[in-house]
Amino acid sequence: MAGEVAHRVAVVGGGPGGLYAAALLKRLDPARRVTVFERNAPEDTFGFGVVLSDETLGGIEEADPVVHAALRERFVRWDTIDVVHRGRTLTSGGHGFAALGRRALLSVLHARCRELGVDLRFRTQAPPAGELATAHDLVVAADGLHSPTREAGREAFRPHLTAHRCRYIWLAADVAFTAFRFEIAETPHGVMQLHGYPYAPDRSTVIVEMREEVWRAAGFAGLDEAASARRCARIFADALGGRPLRGNASRWTRFRTVVNEHWHHGRTVLLGDAAHTAHFSIGSGTKLAVEDALALAACLREQPGVPEALAAYEAERRPVVQSVQRAARASLEWFEDLARYVHQPPRQFAFNLLTRSRRVTHGNLRLRDARFTAAVAGEAGVPPDTPPMFTPFTLGGVHLRNRVVVSPMDLYVARDGVPGDFHLVHLGARALGGAGLVMTEMVCVSPEGRITPGCTGLWNDAQEKGWRRVTDFVRAQSPTTAVGVQLGHAGRKGSTRVMWEGIDQPLAEGNWPLVAPSALPYLDGVSQRPRELTRAELTRLRGQFAAAARRAVRAGFDVLELHCAHGYLLSSFLSPLTNRRTDAYGGDLTARLRFPLEVFEAVREEWPAARALTVRISATDWAPGGTTPEDALGIAAAFRDHGADAIDVSTGQVVPYERPDHGRSYQTPYADRVRNTLGVPVIAVGALSSWDDVNSLVLAGRADLCALARPHLYDPHWTLHAAAEQGYSGPGAPWPAPYRAGSRTPPTGRTDAPRPRLAL
């Protein structure tokens, strides 16, 4: 029967997560015997303040009103964030935080556990989980980041720990900040940052963080806790009003992200930091542990047995935690690369910081603090009442009316490489749909360069005429829309079936020979083995790209993008995983770049200077030994220096064994890195699905243009609808004359009608 499980429970670790789990389990079943093993004394703790979200507090109130009432009496609340940079303080309101001291939190949980009859054993080292499991129905391992339980069960839990690039130290000040405070110090040794927040009427947590190399250059490696606190207090004296900082067994450390392939094994389950960690910059550690405890207790009540409950707990919590960890990783990396952004104008810098995790967006901030968001937009030159996505941009010599790009999408419906009616309707509809730039699919430079028999080309007159038909339609019906062509060659990924018949699978018949930098098949044992290109063939390929570029000029395209991504031919030269050549076109990055740059030069000679020339790259292969972030910067810089007007920054699809870190806008940090390191315009791609994403990226200065694919398959008029939903009707999103009557969101029926008054 559901709820009649885990009569004897051992909790390893007396932190907030373990204590709260113990209290809930005992409250739900008073007959349950719950024992908490904590090796430290009750008053021992590390760190100072704990921040909890309103969402988490709501869960606590629902699960145990007694705990919630006790916490509420001790909370310090505030709703503003201060960003202090180069002598200016930018304040954003409407955020809503609640914090209290860690000792106060533990005291509340200790009292609740004792009241409910939990057996609290302090100064007691827990027996190994395997031993506990012989005498208990359930062992909850809440024993922290360095969990002995997890380490003893490595074979079962399969943990992965990643150490990051910053050093940080937890300190405290006897002053209460009036806001969540981020302060930036640009020192002779490098950039340092302070994260601070109040946790009592007269006290604040202060975390000081900096890159490892800055930490060493500043001499912190040789300082003890007291000396480190004094040094940090001098660096951030303005924030502290000259007050000192103090520690609590504080030491400099590097943050470690913990991920476990499995959270439970037998009767043992991991909870909180033992199972997962997320960077402190999004205030998530205690929050996640408390939410874990809630979910575990609920699953034990709902499921018929411990195995089912632990499986349900992990299934419920894992996707939530993964989402938080993605946001935390984005935040962590933003602070690791803080030096990249210090040049930004003050308000843009503050907006960039606030939206760093991609969870807080332009739309969120407009709701929380419309005045702050309007000030950021005004500083950036965004006209009043204009969403950032509808500001114009000049790409090379081409004026774009807004920042939205219809990303290249292979359609696989051409015959003999000739674009037909489907292409006319597809691209024409999206040009009418409001995007500033509409891109073709990858257009192949030769019959052998196609991915599938359904791919388009630009190697003959019929194809050129077909593309001219498309550009003529756009010129006539949507004259302020730019049209771009993406030129490429499939390389070793060619001669395959169309996507819906088996992606990357070779043709059943009619295959053509493949070429590549090296004789490496894409799918071992499945794909055709390509022939390694000779010098003479490289020369011929350059000519094919140049000829296709000449045809693209005559076909009337405004923008040409050279496809050097996704494992196609030019991409295969760039990646060390696919280029094993020993001649001048293989080896180090300079050599691997040689042929793609030769092709770019050949195309540039044919392409008018008044039009725009861009390059798409894969900024990571998502595979060991592949393209690194430093390689990506080198590749982007080389194309920039050879005259590229923008870099279209994508990732992956180079090798089949890649392991992408999927998530909302997961590729945009790579575009951000290129733009803010090299100063070159970038096009961001990768799981962008909302106009809020576009507004956020543009206003934060992480991207100049945003390319969206699937949203434009779902809705050809995505951009116009984004304008209507934001109440915008300016020049950045003109509705075609025949469509103007539909430029308002249509009513949905009785549900949105005015409601009658039914009560006094």
**Strand ranges inside 459-518, DSSP E:** 482-488, 515-516
Looking at the DSSP assignment, which residues form a beta bridge with residue 168?
Answer: 209, 253
Q: Output the CA torsion sign for 422, 425, 427, 433.
A: negative
Q: Hunting for tokens 């005429």 — which residue is that?
A: 465
Q: Are 522 and 457 in contact (CB under 8 A)?
A: no
DSSP 125: P
Q: Are 651 and 667 in contact (CB under 8 A)?
A: yes
CA angle centred on 473, ends 469 and 479, rounded to 5°: 135
Distance CA 745, CA 747 (A): 7
Give the residue from 280, 300, 277, 353 showing the smallest Cα distance to 102.
280
Q: Is 243 left (phi over 0), alpha (psi -120 to 50) or beta?
A: beta
Selecting among 522, 568, 585, 666, the annotated active-site residue is 568
Look at the alpha carbons of 7, 12, 14, 20 in this order and tell me if their dihedral is positive or negative: negative
Q: How close are the terminal C-alpha atoms of the chain, in Å?
A: 48
Distance CA 736, CA 723 (A): 14
Give the residue among 318, 337, 224 at the shortest CA–CA distance from 264: 318
Backbone angles phi, psi at 208, to 5 degrees: -110, 130
What's the CA gap between 185 and 71, in Å, rounded? 35
What DSSP letter does each residue of 217-271 carry, written as one string?
HTTGGG--HHHHHHHHHHHTHHHHTT--EE-SS---EEEEEEEES-SEETTEEE-
473: exposed, middle or buried (Cβ count in 10 Å: 0-12, 13-18, 19+): middle
**HSE-CB of 206 using CA atoms within 13 angstroms:** 30
> Residue 58: in which H helix or E strand, if any?
helix 54-63
568 is catalytic: yes
Which residues are part of the catalytic machinery? Answer: 568
